[in-house]
Structure 1
Amino acid sequence: MRSKEDYLKSLNDGRRVMYRGKYISNIVEHPVLKISALHASKLFEYPDRSYDDQQYGKISKYFKVPKTSQDLLDRHKLVYDTTIFCNGIFNISQAIGSDALFSLMITAKKLDKKYGKDYFSRVKKYYEYVVKNDLTLATAQTDVKGDRSKRPSKQPDPDLYVRVVDVRNDGIVVRGAKAHTTQAAVADEIIVIPTRAMGEEDKDYAIAFAVPANTPGLKMIVRPIDEIEGNSSSVLSVKDYELETLTIFDNVFVPWDRVFLFREYEFAGTLARLFATYHRFTAISYRAAMANLYLGSAILSAEANGISNEKHVRDDIIDIILYKEILRMSAIASSVYPEIDEEIAIPNYIFTNIGKLYTNTHFHEVVKDLIDIAGGIISTLPSEEDLKSDEGEVISKYLRGAIDGKERIDILKFVKEIDGSSSLVGYWLTTMIHAEGSIEASKIELFRNYDFNESKELVKKIISS
């Protein structure tokens, strides 16, 4: 298995990464982007990340293919614990890629049964390559989409969904772009899957494949990291954050052994839905751990302000506990009652989407609860430069609460970053609604899979007796 140093060294491989209008020659040496790389590298330091596989020897627990409820429970715990290990920030480096790999395995077996092809052997070969080399993976699913009222093949620009533009004896050539691909710029490999169900007219867009991050024609435009560059008082983001990229495929060649779906349009939706389910299960697991940032900050802020025994404060704290534990309960229930498909365990569709929908619609309440406890000072707190100036002692004198001023300021700085007027909380408010699937996507999936028969039969029995 790789070390942290092995991983960081591997990133200097000629990949095309742009940040604020300039291509970056070495991510690990960049003052801002290196933080994301170092965050990813923490996975290689996690003390309990490996297990002994009968076939492959010692490998990452993230690559254990779930077969049972216990496997899913173990995966939930792994996501939760590694998030805590990384200061409450999800480490996606092998989580999202393994979500995609499990989905590809199931879909490939179905494809092979219908068409007599060898997709599963391709997926298995790629899986073995990833496992044996202990690679990090990004998954590019969300196309840029263009006009949302039009299907992929009906867009005014045909490249607004990733598509096949050439078929060769040795592989395919693809073009298009995927949006907000998390940690792509610091991943070893990029897995690409469809974002939606496709019709026959969209078959050129019904593709899935994997490429190394330094593949010619692959370009990654990193979002601005305003939570660091726009906040001199940053406490958390200077330690851990994850970047996203606009991931552009400019006539990228993919060899056949890395193509996992090719124009079998009726399976695009199957693959997209499977991945969404695994990834939403991952989401509720890491968001439950992340909630500790808010719960811990709420308790410390209440103590610093001397209001721990106030009823409205206790109510706010209970709200945060409910948020955290409902997510954790959803993940556990999803594990205990899985779907089994092609001998692989899938988190329960209903419980997974209930948890995901709850976090989509209630995160803003957690933000509100912490603001209520911490107070308006988190938006008007003097700057880091002020605190380090000759007036720093005076500022500390007047910002004391039930505890020393300097200690309270440290708490307030952290709360301001995750809950006040910072770029980070604005970014989180958006991602908590849209990341791993929007509110509407979870509603659709919940309504599609929910069994209404028990409820209907109960009422029918009463009114017919």
Structure 2
Amino acid sequence: MISAEDYINSLKDGRVVYYRGRKVTDVVDHHVLKVPVDHASSIYKLQSDSDYKEITCYNDNNLGVTSSFFKIPRNTEDLMRRHELIYETTRLGRGQFNIIQAIGTDAIFALMYVSRKVDEKYHTNYYENVINFYNNAAKNDLGLAVAQTDVKGDRSLRPSEQKDPDMYLHITKRDKNGIYVSGAKAHTTQSIAANELIVLPTRSMNSSDKDYAVSFAIPANAKGITMFARPMKEVETVENDTLSVIGRKNMEVETVTVFDNVFIPNNRIFLNGEYDFAGLLAMMFPTFHRFTALSYRAALADFLIGTGKLLAEYNGVSDKSNIKRNLSVLIEYKENLRANAIAAAYKCNYDNISGIAIPNIIYTNVGKLFANQNYTDAIKNIVDIAGGMVATMPSYEDFENPDEKDILLKYLTGRDRNETINRIKLFQTLREFISSLGSLYLAGMIHAEGSIEASILELTRSYDYSNSIALGEYSAGIRDKL
């Protein structure tokens, strides 16, 4: 395992990143991008903190002590430990998910499962490649990002039907040493802070899409990879804000990641034209990652519950029935996610070939669908608790000015003058969350880890209707017994 300092230094590797129209010479020292780098490094800090080692570290007989994120789930207990790991590290990140090893290991577990099936049918050696990559990543405590979502171009057309073939990442050339790929992936979270990128197909493929059925891992600084980071307005607007913490310390960044004739050596390839397995891999990764989503979103909901409860108390209205209803909605949101994660772990499916425990697809997607569809309702209720001051609170600079400070503290007092500054901090934090972070989270909570439609499709496709149909027939007298 490595230190936070070693991890940060590992990113000084010449990777090509652009931010707001300018090439970034060093993501570690960049005035904005250093925030997601520092956020990612907090995982490494926790690993060296005696209070959190039990959560973030585990001892593997073959690998020694390594990050708990690399613990391969073999049973319910392992999945429950992973749920708690993601839940607790998100809470320690002030309610903000830390994806730097979680998403990559979600992809690795899916690849372990799928690669064995590909090898069995085509006599390839992809599982060996996956295991070798996993061992290297675990031993070296690497930061990982996943590039799955293609930019897609005309979405009414299949990958091979696009006017521009680069709308889906694809193989442009094969030789005895490996493959060359071109195209672009969107929404690659924390790619600028990752040591390695894991690339997965975004959808099912047919024979005409063969060159688009590709999966591999590649260093983030590989020749031909360029990352275009989204503007981090939530960081830029609170960079010097002493009353707001999240935007200065615990934010992540996404990129459009372009691959321009990037060479992938044979030992790093996990899928190379086996189009009939692209859909399975595109489905198995979200299964693991949606389980992760239930875990971190429950912790985010915990942040909303705590903020709402404190503001209700500082406002002197915690005993009011409408406030209790607001809080009950937030509690319901959190505990539904936790319950589905626990159910998905306890009703997991065990694959005998790969030895992987797979979160129950139904409970995982039911929970994820609930998270997508009810997020805006959760925000409505936290705003209703807070009141209008969450939007109209004076700026932090006003509280820094001695001519204004005492006046504002007098008139912004709630239940108790001694609580005023804490009340103000809560308002500032919540305003940051619903304004500068608002559009990011609104899009993320609806589309991250798969859209609402994706969860509906997977739920209806994977659900076993047989018992329900039997009951329907029995109730209607079509059959005599169940």
Worse-superposed segment, 267-276 or 46-55? 46-55
What's the % identity of the aligned pairs? 48
Residue 197 of structure 2 corresponds to 190
1:346-398 CA distance string (max 9 Å, x none):
00000000000000001111100111010011111112222322222212221
The Cα offsets for residues 211-240 of structure 1, whole Å up to 9 and x where unpaired, read as 001101101111101112134644311111
CA distance in 2, matches of 1:407, 1:276: 39
- The runs of 5 or more residues in structure 1 that have no matched partner are none
Distance 1:418 1:360 in 2: 17
Matched, 1:365 2:377: yes
* 1:37 lines up with 2:37 in the alignment: yes
- What is the TM-score of this pair, normalised by structure 2? 0.94
* Contact persistence 2:182–2:261 (CA under 8 A): yes
Q: Which runs of 5+ in 2 are unaligned?
A: 47-51
Which of 253, 267, 270 is matched with 1:260 structurally? 270
Match of 1:98 among 97, 100, 105: 105
Alignment of 1:43-54 (within 5 A): 43-46=43-46, 47-48=52-53, 49-54=56-61
Preserved CA contact (<8 Å) 1:235 1:413: no
Shift of 1:415: 1.4
Aligned residues: 463
- Quote the Cα distance in structure 2 between the aligned partners of 1:416 and 1:403: 21
- SS at structure 2 position matched to 1:238: helix
Q: Does 1:55 align with 2:62?
A: yes
- Residue pair 2:309, 2:327 contacting (<8 A) in 1 also: yes
- The yes-or-no answer on 1:315 pairing with 2:325 is yes
Whole-angstrom CA distance in 2 between matches of 1:54 and 1:218: 36
| Distance across 2 between alignment mates of 1:31 and 1:406 | 28
Deviations 1:149-178 (A, max 9, x none): 111111121101000111122111110000
Superimposed CA distance per residue, residues 68-118 of structure 1 (whole angstroms, 9 cap, x where no aligned partner) = 111111111111111112221111111100011111111110011101111
How far off is 1:459 after superposition? 2.4
The equivalent of 2:215 in structure 1 is 208
Please say if residues 79 and 282 of structure 1, whose CA atoms lie closer than 8 Å, have aligned partners that are also in contact.
yes
2:390 and 2:430 in contact (8 A); partners too: yes
Q: What is residue 449 of structure 2 aligned with on the other side? A: 436
User: What residue identity is the alignment partner of 1:224?
Assistant: P
- Shift, 1:452, TM fit: 1.6
Q: Encode CA deviations 1:260-288: one digit per residue, 9 max, x unaligned.
A: 10000000000010001000000000110
Task: Summarize deviations over 1:107-162 as a string: whole Å, max 9, x none.
Answer: 11001110111111111111111111111100000001111111111112110100
Range with greater deviation from structure 2 (378-387 or 278-287): 378-387
Whole-Å separation in 2 of the counterparts to 1:159 and 1:167: 17
Paired letter, 2:83: H
**Length-normalised TM-score, structure 1:** 0.98
Confirm or deny: 8 A CA contact 2:154 2:162 kept in the other structure.
Answer: yes
* Counterpart selection for 2:165 from 141, 155, 158: 158
Distance, in Å, in 2 between the alignment partners of 1:360 and 1:463 is 35
Paired with 2:10 and 2:162, the residues of 1 have a C-alpha distance of 38
Partner of residue 465, structure 2: 452
On the 8 A contact 1:198/1:269 being kept in 2, the answer is yes
Which is worse superposed, 234-243 or 435-444? Answer: 234-243
CA deviation digits over 1:275-303, x for unaligned, max 9? 01000000000110111110011011101
Amino acid at match of 1:354: V
Aligned residue among 141, 161, 169 for 2:148: 141
Pairwise CA distance, 1:32: 1.3
